[in-house]
Structure 1
Amino acid sequence: MSYSYKWTSISSGTTKNITKLTFGNNTLVAIGPTGLCLISNDYGQTWSNGGNPGILPRALTFGNGTFAAVGKSGTKVSISSNNGTTWNTKTPPVALNNPINGVAYGNNIFVGGGDYGYTIISTDNGNSWSMGQTVANSIDKLCFGNDTFVGAGSYGGIYISSDGNNWVTKNTGYSSGCTSICYGNNTFILTKDNGDIMTSTNSGLNWTSRFSGNSNLIYGSCYGNGVFILVGANGTILISEDNGVTWTTSKSGTTNTLLGASYVNNNFILVGDNGTILKSPLYSIPSRGINLFK
């Protein structure tokens, strides 16, 4: 099935940059680098202020009733068990100035990865953290799928683990770092800091480069209902309906950089600079129909 997309601007109530977005427990939570937290309980149509996460966030995820954000310096981890209303900061056993860049939940654990190859693990909903195995290079992004944590980082490094503690090292064959990673329909998709897109259908063991025709950096990605969405600089939106093999551009209507994406209730929600929030339902295109929006 093919879809059309029509992006509508939603009021966020802020002009601050919104950098991370995820969905859990029937709630969308969006955060930014200046203590910003926004909450939506109606699938992204209206937003209210949440609590201050207390960190400079680099990633956000949800698992087992808990939102977990990781970031730069200081405490590095912040968790919320009441849908972003309040947050509690935690300090994992990582050197003060070493950021945690990615976090994911799976197999009943939270796993984080960061600079200098540090990995951290929590088995109690983010309340306490221990060190995992240190990998060869920094982990830029991290996600979970098919019972596997996949971290992607500098020098093309790929790190694969089922428990967050023991990691197998692979490589994409590229020397650049990673700007986003997501999973859906048995496929991992990552974007590199040179704009390239790569896919893996065997849990990160092997990767294939894909052509998009896009020259803008990608900063966020998500999957929903058979569709992958990538978002990035200058309002870039890329869409794939065939597991990342081919990509088309969707008109966002903005030149603001888009930084995060999530899928919920047949809608894609995007966030970005200057308080940008965009929303599009999935419009099914009838057989032999005309796509008016894509």
Structure 2
Amino acid sequence: QVGNPGTSVTTSNFEVETYRPQATLTITIAQGTEYDGKAALKPGDNGTLRVVFSDPEPLTVSNFHFDNITVTEFVNVSTMTSLDNITWEGIFTPVDNSTGNFTGSQSQSNSYSSNVKFSMDDDSFRDHKGNPGDDADSPSFVVDTKPPYVTKVTLNDGLLDLDDTLDGSAPFTNRCIPVHSNIKVTFDYIMQASSIIANGVNRTDCVGTIQVSSDNFSSCVEMPNDHANPTASANNTTFELDPVDNLSYDATYQIRVENGGDGVKDALGNAMTSQFNHSGGFRTSAFPSSSPTSGVFVAVGEYGTTFRSIDNGTSWDNGTCLFLNNTLRGVGFGNNTFLAAGDSGKIIRSTDNASSWSISASTSQYLDAFTFGSNTFNAVGTSGYTFNSFDNGSTWNSRRTPSSGSPYNYYRNIGAVSFGNNTFVAVGQSGKIVRSTDNGTSWSNVTSGYSPYPYGNNNLKGVSFGNNTFVAVGISGEIIRSTDYGSSWDNVTSTSPSRDLQGVSFGNNTFVAVGESGRIQRSTDNGTSWSNMTSNVLNDFREVTFGNNTFVAVGLEGRIVRSTDNGTSWNSVTSGTSNELYGVIFGE
């Protein structure tokens, strides 16, 4: 320790490098397929994945391996190769998802909407100094190798859609289709709109990729020029066809969608594998025949269909309709005008003996029945609402019957109405009875439809007038009668207390009531006593009417029976429908 000074020492040079290496991922599709600005793959396409490393200068990464890349489930990638360990390339091809077995993250929907891409995680590669690389992604792209197919055919009557989801339920079968209906075809996924082509105007040869025909495609329905490419909606999955003119009356139409190279294609150009033919098709409304010179019976029912007989109910025209799915529950006649309404609250009107119909009005209530008297129509329906018209159904006034007693103030449904001796009488839920002596402008309770129930609490379903007597019928065979214009009522002993009665009518000094399981009863003493008649029908009857010395009753499964001997004997007739009929009326 003598204090000698030390000499300076310098290490050799060394480098400090903390820059994280970068990877740039790019893709190119050899066929140039694109969707919405993105690269895309369809069957037969292939793409190149290129990975370039930098630091930020070009950087050699010799330990890079294909497993360093996270590969989307939609593609297969060949082994990555490189000539300089800076740029690596591999070929990728789409996985066949045409079987439709892919779900979840590998579903067709996710292929379009998710970020389908290649990616590299943090530290999935390192430079030669051992610095971990940053994460990196390729641009997103689309894969779709599944051929498109039709999922639904829809008819639209201007008010609502009626769908056939092709599940075998065949909702168009046994249904009257309005001739003004439009037709929609829906595919499983996004379509190439330019491939969806219908016939243009003045083209009746079948040249489009979607065709509509009533003669097995010997000719096809014309479409306006602006609908030669049908209107697209729902992200180019649904296409609507609007014929130049209405469809033809009383015709069965089929829909065909073409496949193959000249057929419809999805967004990436995939063609359908087989031609689509809409099995069964649909049948349009019968042609409105000329007005008869004598009286006419009119029946209404399920799906808004009307039927007409001009030979006292012996035979019936095929059904006509304005709606696809608005069941008609009641029909009335007066002053050479027929009116009908039902579930939709829409009232339809005919002034040519039910040859043709038009919409008269729309209400917010279901309507069940009509009657006519003193130059006034009255309609009744749900929640105590009634509507009256003084101009043969052209315009309507909304009314409401009194509520049903404190403290609940129930507005009972009204199901039937009749007219006699300048008095309208309506009956309904829980024994509710109301009457009006001012043509339905105001109503007063005879019974409130709430306790106490002077004539029982069964729902009353029908009411009729004859020989200065009102007769009402209802559930559990209930029959009541009034001889003082509906002010008070007497209970009558039913011959079928276990069977519901749905309707009642009067003619030739005879009341006839109809109901459950083909039940028919008649009275020839103004409703005081009743006898059971044989109908040989097991279906429920819904309504009965009288005209031209003939009673006609209608009911479930299109059942119609008639009697020409004042209800003593009955014969079944063919209605032309298996759908339910709810109302029937006779018009002079």
TM-score between the two structures when normalised by the length of structure 2 = 0.43
Shift of 1:97: 4.2
Give the whole-Å Cα distance in 1 for the aligned partners of 2:414 and 2:532. 27
**Which position in structure 1 is the counterpart of 2:519?**
196
1:141-220 equivalent positions in 2, closer than 5 A: 141-162=462-483, 163-173=485-495, 174-220=497-543
Question: Gaps (5+ residues) in structure 2?
Answer: 1-310, 405-409, 448-453
* Change beyond 3 A, Cα 1:107–1:53: farther
SS at match of 1:116: helix
Answer yes or no: is the 8 Å Cα contact 2:433–2:445 preserved in 1: yes
**Which position in structure 2 is the counterpart of 1:23?**
333
**Which position in structure 1 is the counterpart of 2:371?**
61
1:264-283 equivalent positions in 2, closer than 5 A: 264-265=587-588
**Which position in structure 2 is the counterpart of 1:137?**
457
**Which position in structure 2 is the counterpart of 1:99?**
413
Using CA pairs under 8 Å that are at least 6 residues apart, name the structure with larger relative contact order, 1 or 2.
Answer: 1
Answer yes or no: is the 8 Å Cα contact 1:216–1:234 preserved in 2: yes
* Change beyond 3 A, Cα 1:164–1:3: closer
SS at match of 1:234: helix
Deviation track 1:229-284 (CA, whole Å, cap 9, x = no partner) reads: 1111111110111111111110111112111112224xxxxxxxxxxxxxxxxxxx
**Which position in structure 2 is the counterpart of 1:281?**
none
**Which position in structure 1 is the counterpart of 2:317?**
8
SS at match of 1:9: coil
Shift of 1:150: 0.3
Structure 1 residue runs of 4+, over 3 Å off?
Answer: none
**Which position in structure 1 is the counterpart of 2:434?**
120
Answer yes or no: is the 8 Å Cα contact 1:66–1:80 preserved in 2: yes
* Change beyond 3 A, Cα 1:118–1:201: same
* Change beyond 3 A, Cα 1:3–1:44: closer
Give the whole-Å Cα distance in 1 for the aligned partners of 2:515 and 2:320. 31
Shift of 1:53: 4.0
- State the one-letter code of the partner of 2:390: S
* Change beyond 3 A, Cα 1:154–1:3: closer
Deviation track 1:108-134 (CA, whole Å, cap 9, x = no partner) reads: 011111222221111101001111144
**Which position in structure 1 is the counterpart of 2:258?**
none
**Which position in structure 2 is the counterpart of 1:38?**
348
Shift of 1:49: 1.1
Deviation track 1:10-47 (CA, whole Å, cap 9, x = no partner) reads: 53322221211110011011111102211111111111
Deviation track 1:42-96 (CA, whole Å, cap 9, x = no partner) reads: 11111111012442122211111111111221x4211111222222111211233
Q: RMSD value over aligned CA atoms?
A: 1.8
SS at match of 2:578: coil
Answer yes or no: is the 8 Å Cα contact 1:52–1:87 preserved in 2: no
Higher share in strand: 1
- State the one-letter code of the partner of 1:126: G
**Which position in structure 2 is the counterpart of 1:275?**
none
SS at match of 1:42: coil
Shift of 1:4: 7.5
Question: Gaps (5+ residues) in structure 1?
Answer: 266-294
Give the whole-Å Cα distance in 1 for the aligned partners of 2:489 and 2:334. 27
Aligned length: 263
Q: Which has more radius of gyration?
A: 2
**Which position in structure 1 is the counterpart of 2:393?**
84
Give the whole-Å Cα distance in 1 for the aligned partners of 2:457 and 2:466. 22
Shift of 1:203: 0.9
Shift of 1:6: 2.5
Answer yes or no: is the 8 Å Cα contact 2:418–2:463 preserved in 1: yes
Give the whole-Å Cα distance in 1 for the aligned partners of 2:587 and 2:412. 33
